[in-house]
Amino acid sequence: MFDLTGFLHFLVAILVVLSVHESAHAVTAYYLGDPTAKLKGRISLNPIRHLDLYGSLIFLLTMRIGWGKPVPVNSENFKKPVRDSALTALAGPMSNFALSFAVAFLWKHTGKFMPEILLTQLQTIFHVSIFLGVFNLLPFPPLDGSKILGLFIPRKYEYQYANYLENGVQYFIAIMMIDVLVLSNFLGYPVFGLVIRKISVIVEGILILGT
């Protein structure tokens, strides 16, 4: 049976988490010297500015995995392009973990005074934010991990790496669709989702202990 209340909690969580995640990229790029995202209005908590068609579709299909519209970055504006591009990418997942920590702290210390609907929403944001942060650390384009990977690519492989970033998206989307629509029917669960969930549970435990 379709759980409308749960779906609405998830939808609100996705909009909040994506807005924070993508804005973190834009803010970091700006402070590292690249105003491109700021000029395009991406330093914003308005979720409409950050929605990506394919990423949103995957979100709705899986209720877990997906991504926002990539933040435009011109690495030529950075003093150290490779390092600063990686830091800009890393800012997204780190903002997810920071948001989850703040939400966990809030519900742990004030949850008993909250209405149940608000407490449930905060808990949903907590879980979705961690899951999205872990997912985005995977080294596949268009995810942030693929750009962080640039820190570890030798110069002689820069061309191959650039080609990977440019053309890898379509293959990753195809793999995700196969995982969600095919493998999940045979195995009963999407493989990517299971692996990321296991890692997310560990991160959740660490963050809750920290509050």
What are the tens digits of pLDDT across the range 48-71?
A: 888 887 777 777 766 666 677 889
Average pLDDT for 152-173 = 89
Which pLDDT score is estimated for 188? 75
What are the tens digits of pLDDT across the range 170-203?
A: 888 888 778 877 877 777 777 877 888 899 999 9
| pTM value surpassing 0.75 | yes
Which pLDDT score is estimated for 127? 95
Better-scored residue on pLDDT, 30 or 195 = 30
Q: What is the mean pLDDT of the chain?
A: 89
Q: Measure the CA dihedral 201/124/147/199, to 10°.
A: 10
Helix, strand, coil distribution of the chain in percent, nearest 5: 80, 0, 20
